[in-house]
Amino acid sequence: MAGIIQPKVLKGFRDFLPQMEIPRRKLIRALEDHFTSYGYVPIDTPVLEYAEVLLSKGGGETDKQTYRFNDHGGRDVALRFDLTVPFARYVAAHRNELSIPFKRYHIGKVWRGENTQRGRYREFMQCDFDVIGTDSAAADLEIMLMMAAGLRAIGAGETRIRFSHRGLFNQLLEKLGLEGKTAEVLRIVDKIGKIGAGEVRILLGELVGKEETETLLDFITPAEDNRETLKKMAALAWSEEKDGSAEVRIKTILDAVEKMQLHHNLVLDPSITRGLDYYTGIVFETFLDDMPSLGSVCSGGRYGNLTGLFMKEPVSGVGASIGLDRLMAGLEELGRIDNAASGTDILILMLDEALLARYQILAHGLRQDGLAAEVYPENRKLGAQFKYAEAKGIPLALIVGSEENEAGTVNLKDLGSRESFNGLSFEDARGKALEILGK
RNA sequence: GUGGAUGUAGUUCAGUUGGUAGAGCACCAGAUUGUGGUUCUGGUUGUCGCGGGUUCAAACCCCGUCAUCCACCCCA
């Protein structure tokens, strides 16, 4: 009379049925191919690390959200809550084994013990890609171009990347004498898309003086086009156009964007600041044209010193992170997810158990042509076997009974149109199958 | 973490002022023992999220708990 254990999963953790996992894998594979085509290489790191490594950044909020416990040996350990901190440790640990500039991508699960919402879970998949070891505008540009092209490649459609530069914002804050309140100001400004300029004015007014509030609001409001926006930002921040300045960096990027005719995709938006404080250069967030309300599906920026906590020599880099689960939720809502129940192209029906070997030989032959073939495992009524094929979304069936076996022929059936092609040689049948599948 | 809403068969939902649960779809079997999407007949589906309490009696009322959704926070 043992009690039955409920097959439940933890809050914010999920099982994936095949019709969800198959498109998820497809999406990941498409991204991997995309990164590879730009020369980025994959890495991985442990999901469990020493707590002191993961929590070293000391952000109060991340500390609270990190899953942390003592392992069987009494070690203070934690599950990774992003892929950036492990990457910093990884770079410091393997500094001499990496060729610089190092371009990597990393796709993996991360964990955060925060409250759940739609498209927001405690276990979720992140996809990071970064270039480290160079502070060039070329790298900044490449990362943003990869984001736009990558999202297009996975069927997310056109995107708008809104970017800005922390350097100019910091100059402005310095000029206004607000360096001490940088974090608070950034957090308020970051909300403008959500709460509007009016609310931001009120919140800023509570934090800084009236004049400063108006200057900040003026700064973060984009002008008609990228050039005008930059002009205004530079003027308000008292920027001097010299080598290595934030202003020149933005100019360089805008020049390239214009030459590539991408000013729809890349928009200079000074209200983009990103809450995280390790960004020092460009910062950006990406929205789907077809669903801006989903929020940013890919964001990041340039950091001046990724590895500061783990080694003395500073390493600069620029990178972005895609929220795969949020993106999946958006794509599903847009009807862009193909909920395939299997990847099988052709089902070989079982009409006679004595023909087991024949069925497996047929399946093997089909696989050599690149077709995914499976043999139905029981000699059940044909109706049941067809139903199985339908449930798994299998488009073709190969039917061989004792008569066909003796005659040396096979019957192929297109399960979609219900058209049968009987008495074919195996050669003709697989030719026909490839034709129907369009392969 | 804070506040609010919700939780009934695989699924979508119904269930009247508390009287020990119902429909469509899905599923299974048969009409149709080598060709399945229609039709017909029959059938199964439930610890009413879980655990307590009030009551002669709880899906319904009360408390707790777990989960989902929404807002805040933060972010992906």
- The ranges assigned to domains in chain A are 18-333, 346-437
* pLDDT tens, position by position, A101-155: 999 999 999 999 888 888 889 999 999 999 999 999 999 999 999 999 999 988 8
> Nucleotides of chain B within 7 Å of a protein C-beta?
1-3, 27-30, 33-37, 47, 66-76
CA A5 → C1' B15, Å? 30
The answer on pLDDT for A182 being more than 90 is no
Helix (H) / strand (E) containing A396: strand A396-399
- Confidence band (pLDDT; 50, 70, 90) for A173? confident
Distance (Å, whole) CA A155 – CA A177: 46
The answer on pLDDT for A247 being more than 80 is yes
Nearest nt by C1' to A276 Cα: B75
The answer on pLDDT for A201 being more than 80 is yes
- Strand order from edge to edge, sheet including A48-50: A48-50, A76-79, A68-70
pLDDT at residue number A171: 86
Whether A18-333 and A346-437 share one fold: the answer is no
The answer on pLDDT for A49 being more than 70 is yes
Closest residue (Cα, C1') to B47: A4
pLDDT at residue number A2: 41
- Confidence band (pLDDT; 50, 70, 90) for A60? low
pLDDT over 70, % of chain A: 97
pLDDT at residue number A45: 96
pLDDT at residue number A170: 86
pLDDT at residue number A331: 84
- Confidence band (pLDDT; 50, 70, 90) for A378? confident
Q: What is the mean pLDDT of residues A210-217?
A: 84
pLDDT at residue number A125: 92
Q: What is the mean pLDDT of residues A188-209?
A: 81
Nearest nt by C1' to A402 Cα: B34
Q: Which residue has the higher pLDDT, A134 or A383?
A: A134
- Confidence band (pLDDT; 50, 70, 90) for A225? confident
pLDDT at residue number A316: 92
pLDDT at residue number A1: 32
CB-CB neighbours of A430 under 10 Å: 22
CA A113 → C1' B75, Å? 12
CA A1 → C1' B73, Å? 46
Strand, helix or coil for residue A8: coil
Nearest nt by C1' to A117 Cα: B69
Nearest residue to A274 via CA among A337, A363, A183: A183
- Would you identify the CATH topology of the domain A18-333? BirA Bifunctional Protein; domain 2 (3.30.930)
Nearest nt by C1' to A419 Cα: B35
CA A386 → C1' B2, Å? 53
CA A146 → C1' B44, Å? 54
pLDDT at residue number A16: 85
Nearest nt by C1' to A8 Cα: B67
Q: What is the mean pLDDT of residues A70-74?
A: 91
**Tokens read off for A95:** 């500094």
Nearest nt by C1' to A300 Cα: B76
Report how far apart, in Å, the C-alpha atoms of A345 and of each of A360, A369, A413, A434 are: 15, 11, 12, 10
The answer on pLDDT for A322 being more than 80 is yes
Nearest residue to A268 via CA among A155, A411, A161: A161
pLDDT at residue number A265: 87
* pLDDT tens, position by position, A337-357: 777 778 899 999 988 888 989
CA A381 → C1' B33, Å? 9
Kindly report the average pLDDT of chain A as a whole number.
87
pLDDT at residue number A3: 55
Architecture of the domain spanning A346-437: 3-Layer(aba) Sandwich (3.40)
**Tokens read off for A130:** 């970064």
**Tokens read off for A181:** 């309140």
pLDDT at residue number A260: 92
